[in-house]
Structure 1
Amino acid sequence: MNSPSALRQNLQPLWNRIPSGLRPWLKRVALALLIVYAAYLLLGNVFLNTPLGPWAANRKPDKFQIEWGPGVTWWPGRVAVWDVKMKGHAGRTLWAVQAAKASGRVAILPLLRKTVRVPEVWVSEVAGEVDMTGARKPPPPVRPGGWVLQFDRIATDSIRHGRFAGLTLEGTGSAQVGFYKQLRGGALELMPSKAHFDKARLSLDGDELLRDAGIDARFTIARHTRAQASGIRKLLMTDAQLTLDGSTAALQVNVDPNGKIALKTVPGQGSAHAQLTFARGVLKPGSQLRWHMPVTGTDSTGSARADSLDVNLDVGQDVVLKAKVPPQQGGMLALDADLRVRGNEVPLHDFKTLLPRTSGHVVGKWQFASLRWLGNFFTNAPWLSLDGAGSVDADVQVRDGKIAAGSRVGVPEVTAIADVMGNRIQGQARADGRLDAGPNGELLPKLDLVMERFNIAADTARSRPYVEGQNLRLSLETLSGFAQGKLRQPGALKQARQSLRAHLTFNDAHVPDLRVYNHYLPKTHLRFDGGSGLLSGDLTLDGAGDIGHGWLRVNGRATQLHAAGMALRGDIDVNTQLRRANLDGHNFNIDGSSVDLKNVSFTEAGGESRSGWWARINLDRARMDWDKPMSVNGSAHISMKDVGFLLSLFSRQREYPKWIYKLVDAGQAQVSGNVQWQGDTLVLDRMEAKNQRYDLKARLKLHGQSRVGSLYAHWGVLSCAVQVNNGQRDFHLVHAQQWYDAQPNLLR
């Protein structure tokens, strides 16, 4: 290296060639430049290393702030700063960037044109964060004359960390970015830029999604103003490419005994590959994604399970998405989804617009923490609810974004509750649903429920079931489309009744205590005093949960009854045929209903006892009001072993003429008449019993403690009539028939 003296010796000949008149001027110019440079060094470094610099840069701290540590500038336009921190707020986006060092060059002459042009910036040890906030910062009004910021190249080879909301990217990265922005609402452009990562790790809220990943990205945004493209519409001006290869984590799915699902990622050996190209709102043909992820965890029983998830995305003229979890022995889930989206445009404004473009199928098995949606999906029955955690086995057909006919859903276990005619039916059910096509192309859901075990309780005492049974079946069929949300509109209930039909069946459900039915009966004159029984039913329900038609049957053995003041014990079989009489109340036509009494023993008021008696009651024409207390009005035909019970309703055996009770031994009787019970009143009217040997007629009204009526018996040449008026009995042995015929009927 030349010494200063040697340098002077080399320059001396050149200095000697300069005319002597110019030499003083050159010394003055050199001195001036030296002074200017020294002033620049002083002022520039003072600007960078005192609060003056941040004060000048942070004139609008609500939009942009920058801080730095030590800084240095050795030449005009050349700057280097350390410990750089920047943050800003634009729209709903909060962003922040940190760097260990930034150095670059600012072009001087463009400043005269109100342009800050930075040909190159080099940044090291970079980290950035982006968060979204609910408070949108309104953009400034557009005004002319704004300064232009033009950064041709911002480069780094040491990106360490990046975060977008809960998504974090870590690794060794490099990037090159350039942008153009005119202030005061002017144009924006992102010049062709690129980024590269090696050994990258991607996590979501701390849970690893991807590791050891190689990522290459290229992106650009065409120059535009806010009026041309604002917010997400900027993607219509964007071109981007992404290439990704790496290892994925495993997905852990744990299901607790209550069906609650917990998801998280754990270390695993999966793989990911992506080659995606986006151009002005369109995924370009040839784009693809491959994602393989192991699935581990425990089911609701605590047993360990293992599955795997594969997701494939392929873009041609259409977008094809396939996802698959192969079914495995003991696996927690299974999935086979194949969906095709017409076209390859990305819906930027409303993602739901993808649905009308989507067709395909989704077949699989999933675990749900709540199955309440199942009832709403398959039925418009407000009286039926399905809930509880459980798995769903589904085959869903999708056509133009809508679930199509042929779809089905199976649920091995779900909590089912049906409120029917003042009773709550509840149990764990197996559910199978399907969608059929209606005559006009509408979907008509059908749902079949099987309760392996169930119970029935009155609405007024839901915690005390009075029936327990097995194998209850409930089938629901939608007859026409009806939106459940319209139930409160005028006339909606009638439409709901007509939109759905349900079929409910069960057999031999156990009724531990038949006295639970007493709240339907006129307790003073007809009630159960003990015994158990079996309940069976076959009912058709409408959309409002009311019975349309069907039957209910109660069968009791060694049942204790209280009837018209007498205690009975025997076997009873009540078969009630139901057909709804109107839509406004709980009134039913019960024609064809029957009551069978067998092996009956009873004790009369006077202490006389009978056994081995039987009767069969058939209601030829009858109406019933289900409401409590139940009321019945109709005509009956009765076959009975003898008329002993009928005679006992009017008087003790020893008070009758002796020949009367010979009627008891005179064989079976056929009885017809009218029956009415309403509230605490029981009326038997125009009762006629006869066989080849005798005739017997009777009318009786029981109300509270009151007993009023008349009876006529005829056997050969003998006849007798008796009048009952509470505790008084008057016998008529002369002109008995004339007296009886003169008494008024009790029912019209």
Structure 2
Amino acid sequence: MLYVVYLFAGNIFLNSPLAPRLVNRQPETLEAHWARAETWWPGQVRLERLRVQGHARKLLWSVEAGQARGRLLLWALFRRELRFGRVQITDVDIHVQPASSDHKPPPWRPDAWWLTFEGIETTSLRKLQWGELVMEGNAAGVVGFTHQLRGGTTQIFPSVLTASQAALRYRSQPWLRALSFKLQFAFDRYSYDDPPGWHKLERARIHLVADGATPIINLGVNSGANVSGPSAAPHDGHVAVDLLLDHGVLAAGGHASWNGPVETASAGGSPQYLGGQATISVTDDKTDGHFSASPAVTGTGANIANHMLIDARLDSRRLLPLPSSKAALALLSVNAEGHWQFESLAWLQPLTAVKPWLRWNGAGEVDAALRLAHGQLMPGSRLTIPRLAFTARILGNIFTGSASADGLVEADPRGAHSSMNLMVKHFVVAPDIPAGEPYLQGQALQVAMRSSADLLNFRDTAVTRLHFAHAEVPDLRAYNRYLPGKSLFFISGHGSMASDLTVDGKGDVSDGRMQLHSDGARLAIGPSRLNGNIDLDTRLTMAKRAGHAFDVHDFNLSMNGVRVEGSNDPPWWTTATLERGTLDWDRPMQLNGTATMRMKDVSVLLTLFADRGAFPKWVAHLIDAGEAQVRANVQARKGEFVLDHLVATNQRALVMARLRIADGKPAGDIYARWGILDVGVAMANGERQFHLLHAARWYEAQPDLLTTTEVVAH
């Protein structure tokens, strides 16, 4: 009688809304639905058209099955465990996708329930999808596990998955077909965070035996290009694998092999078909790898066909836990050489710089040989790239051009070193801002890189020198973004520039030299307009300050043939040297220091304060006194140009001044003396006040414009 009651009540319950409602109390974590259910014995259930889905931390998963049949072991409920014996499912589709959020379980506690499946068995796994990796075909398997709820530990029992005539693809790209495999795996207990992520493989034993057909491998052919030649692969490739990973260690005797066609492109874009081979073999103390791709007939000269040969050895069978980079490279030796047309050379960039200041763009041919012994680059390593698109970001500017590159590793008394030389035939420089217009163009930019032969420290020890000369500056106004706005700027002019810069692996300029020459430049200093020839020569050394900060050495500026617009004075000249200078390159540029100058006379200094006619007539004798020696504290920064403590002297005259030009408006004080005659002028808000009595006393009472700190450093 009890059995009849169970049959009646159990089947009504399973097919009523009450059962799904009981199971789906937390649908954000687990949700199950079925079309029909039946039970013929306590604990035994059969479900049809079952769908189960859930959200486990950062993964969304779902399982669909045509039928599921299993047994709940009721006795395990007394120890807070939902334990199922063998569960059989048919017509199975499994999907696992990354989630946009982390669904964390409630806080763990020791008495949390356990969920255990002794074995979930199917002989009709139709589809298994993990992200965008999809396996379809005839598969079967048995998987068992136990998991403590509320974020407890998980253990995967010895499980197996087999398939025959399956297919593996990533997105729409086929990887394997006619695939047969046997995958055996088990995991010791682990939690979500211990060990994290794929480090859980350190607690696994995984044995894969597989055999399948591979499509043609495309290395270097633009899939969107319309190239001539055969459109189908000559034949399929073949892959065979027998590898055992036991708690992070490859078992001796493991091996994998592949052979098949490789499609590449010549420099002209026409397809080439090569024969490819790859092997991995695991012995008692090392893991060997080999890859080769070569044509049936080898070309010569300009028709050299793509080919590649790589032999690698890892002096260990342990893959996990990952050793440090230094330890891993010390175990690695590689002997490789080849000639290849790459659709993109961008993969070379991370090899040459810590930060992406130097880029290798576009398609290009690479002819190279690599000799690596225990992480050390050895003589015989070389690299030749006949054509590449060159890009370098330096000091807020971007250099671009078409280049060729040659590199090699050479021995020297202190050990091997690597060098790379690039020649950029034609280059342009533009501000590194959106839609920045080129302001400099030239020929023969030389880029010379030198680094350690230690592959681990290759990028950190890389030092690159960029050198060019006689580059054209079509419009000097392009440099106004570095100058203090309306206070000091170019009105017009053109010129030429030369630079020699040393750049470290982070793209920072450690030192350099810059030279600028212009004939007939028009320059504004506040309201004054000057025409003349300019020569600038400066050396920079990186300072220990944040940003693009430099100490300035040998800053030399010369101006000749200078005329002040509106003045009838003969051409004027000056030379200036900056001492104890500091420069912040970031736009707008800031310059501090003490300048020493030689001037033809003091006429231009006086012009900055007032027209000649406003001064007493004896000032003409001051100008006629001739060449003057000048010293001043200088500051140029955003919107402002300052000359402070300016003293100009010769045997007969003295001029002292303080001048601040802010947003193009000058203000300051000047004192001039010739013999026993002197005068002071105060300038502010466009007005001038002359001091004819006690001028020296008045001037000495005026405040400084720059503090001592501003003079020495900003």
How does the TM-score come out when normalised to structure 1?
0.56
Q: How far does residue 562 in structure 1 lie from its aligned partner after superposition?
A: 0.6
513, 516, 521: which is aligned to 1:551?
513
723, 731, 734: which is aligned to 2:681?
723
- Give the match for residue 378 of structure 2: 405
8 Å Cα contact 1:334/1:366 also seen in 2: yes
344, 347, 371: which is aligned to 1:373?
347
8 Å Cα contact 2:122/2:140 also seen in 1: no
Matched residue SS, 1:698: strand
Matched residue SS, 1:600: strand
Question: Separation in 2 of the partners of 1:257 and 1:233?
Answer: 35
Question: Separation in 2 of the partners of 1:709 and 1:323?
Answer: 79
Matches within 5 A, 1:244-323: 255=221, 299-302=266-269, 323=292
8 Å Cα contact 1:91/1:137 also seen in 2: no
- Give the match for residue 302 of structure 2: 330
393, 413, 419: which is aligned to 1:419?
393
Are residue 506 (structure 1) and residue 464 (structure 2) matched?
Answer: no
Matches within 5 A, 1:141-152: none
8 Å Cα contact 1:722/1:729 also seen in 2: no
8 Å Cα contact 2:403/2:422 also seen in 1: yes
Q: How far does residue 579 in structure 1 lie from its aligned partner after superposition?
A: 1.6
8 Å Cα contact 1:594/1:619 also seen in 2: yes
Matched residue SS, 2:576: strand
- Give the match for residue 622 of structure 1: 581
8 Å Cα contact 1:250/1:267 also seen in 2: yes
Shift in alpha-carbon separation, 1:546–1:661, aligned structure 2, 3 A: same
Matches within 5 A, 1:438-453: 446-453=419-426
8 Å Cα contact 2:537/2:556 also seen in 1: yes
Matched residue SS, 1:301: coil
Which string of whole-angstrom CA distances, capped at 9 and with x for unpartnered residues, describes residues 26-55 of structure 1?
Answer: xxxxxxxxxxxxxxxxxxxxxxxxxxxxxx
Are residue 475 (structure 1) and residue 448 (structure 2) matched?
Answer: yes
8 Å Cα contact 2:219/2:342 also seen in 1: no
Are residue 569 (structure 1) and residue 536 (structure 2) matched?
Answer: no
8 Å Cα contact 1:570/1:600 also seen in 2: yes
Question: Separation in 1 of the partners of 2:629 and 2:660?
Answer: 23
Question: Separation in 2 of the partners of 1:138 and 1:403?
Answer: 45
Question: Separation in 2 of the partners of 1:612 and 1:594?
Answer: 20
Matched AA of 1:138: V
Question: Separation in 1 of the partners of 2:225 and 2:446?
Answer: 25
Shift in alpha-carbon separation, 1:698–1:138, aligned structure 2, 3 A: same
339, 359, 382: which is aligned to 1:385?
359
Matches within 5 A, 1:607-618: 607-618=566-577
Question: Separation in 2 of the partners of 1:628 and 1:254?
Answer: 41
Question: Separation in 2 of the partners of 1:719 and 1:598?
Answer: 30
Matched AA of 2:309: A
Matches within 5 A, 1:147-166: 165=167
Q: How far does residue 311 in structure 1 lie from its aligned partner after superposition?
A: 6.5
8 Å Cα contact 2:597/2:630 also seen in 1: yes
Shift in alpha-carbon separation, 1:320–1:611, aligned structure 2, 3 A: same
Which string of whole-angstrom CA distances, capped at 9 and with x for unpartnered residues, describes residues 662-711 of structure 1?
Answer: 3434432222222223333322233232334x222221322432422122
Question: Separation in 2 of the partners of 1:543 and 1:584?
Answer: 17
- Give the match for residue 143 of structure 2: 138
430, 451, 470: which is aligned to 1:457?
430
Matched residue SS, 1:138: strand
Question: Separation in 1 of the partners of 2:647 and 2:224?
Answer: 64
Matched residue SS, 1:711: strand
Shift in alpha-carbon separation, 1:341–1:654, aligned structure 2, 3 A: closer
Shift in alpha-carbon separation, 1:139–1:584, aligned structure 2, 3 A: closer
Shift in alpha-carbon separation, 1:655–1:134, aligned structure 2, 3 A: farther
Question: Separation in 2 of the partners of 1:358 and 1:501?
Answer: 25
Question: Separation in 2 of the partners of 1:134 and 1:613?
Answer: 92
Q: How far does residue 408 in structure 1 lie from its aligned partner after superposition?
A: 2.9
8 Å Cα contact 2:501/2:511 also seen in 1: yes
Are residue 466 (structure 1) and residue 466 (structure 2) matched?
Answer: no
Q: How far does residue 656 in structure 1 lie from its aligned partner after superposition?
A: 2.2
Shift in alpha-carbon separation, 1:679–1:207, aligned structure 2, 3 A: closer
Shift in alpha-carbon separation, 1:506–1:599, aligned structure 2, 3 A: same
8 Å Cα contact 2:669/2:699 also seen in 1: no
How does the TM-score come out when normalised to structure 2?
0.59
Matched AA of 1:659: W
Matched AA of 2:673: A
Q: How far does residue 578 in structure 1 lie from its aligned partner after superposition?
A: 1.3
Matched AA of 1:454: F
Matched residue SS, 2:597: strand
Shift in alpha-carbon separation, 1:346–1:538, aligned structure 2, 3 A: closer
Question: Separation in 2 of the partners of 1:686 and 1:359?
Answer: 65
- Give the match for residue 19 of structure 1: none
- Give the match for residue 641 of structure 2: 682
Shift in alpha-carbon separation, 1:625–1:482, aligned structure 2, 3 A: farther
Matched AA of 1:677: A
8 Å Cα contact 2:138/2:166 also seen in 1: no
8 Å Cα contact 1:252/1:266 also seen in 2: no
Shift in alpha-carbon separation, 1:414–1:136, aligned structure 2, 3 A: farther
Give the CA RMSD over aligned residues: 5.8
Are residue 646 (structure 1) and residue 602 (structure 2) matched?
Answer: no
Question: Separation in 2 of the partners of 1:676 and 1:707?
Answer: 15
Matched AA of 2:351: F
Matched AA of 1:707: A
User: Which 5+ residue runs of structure 1 have no aligned equivalent?
Assistant: 1-59, 65-87, 95-129, 141-161, 168-203, 209-220, 241-248, 485-494
Q: Percent identity?
A: 28
Are residue 711 (structure 1) and residue 678 (structure 2) matched?
Answer: no
Q: How far does residue 527 in structure 1 lie from its aligned partner after superposition?
A: 0.7
Matched residue SS, 1:524: helix
8 Å Cα contact 1:577/1:593 also seen in 2: yes
Q: How far does residue 517 in structure 1 lie from its aligned partner after superposition?
A: 1.8
- Give the match for residue 339 of structure 1: 311
8 Å Cα contact 1:378/1:445 also seen in 2: no
- Give the match for residue 215 of structure 1: none
- Give the match for residue 661 of structure 1: 620
Matched AA of 1:723: V
Larger radius of gyration: 1
Matched residue SS, 1:593: strand
**Relative to structure 2, which stretch is displaced further, 618-627 or 458-467?**
458-467
Matched residue SS, 1:662: helix
Are residue 519 (structure 1) and residue 481 (structure 2) matched?
Answer: yes
Matched AA of 2:446: R
Matched residue SS, 1:429: strand
Shift in alpha-carbon separation, 1:324–1:712, aligned structure 2, 3 A: same
Higher relative contact order (CA 8 A, sep 6+): 2
Q: How far does residue 567 in structure 1 lie from its aligned partner after superposition?
A: 1.0
Shift in alpha-carbon separation, 1:480–1:314, aligned structure 2, 3 A: closer
Matched residue SS, 2:479: helix
Which string of whole-angstrom CA distances, capped at 9 and with x for unpartnered residues, describes residues 180-203 of structure 1?
Answer: xxxxxxxxxxxxxxxxxxxxxxxx
Matched AA of 1:711: Y
Shift in alpha-carbon separation, 1:695–1:457, aligned structure 2, 3 A: same
Question: Separation in 1 of the partners of 2:389 and 2:624?
Answer: 57
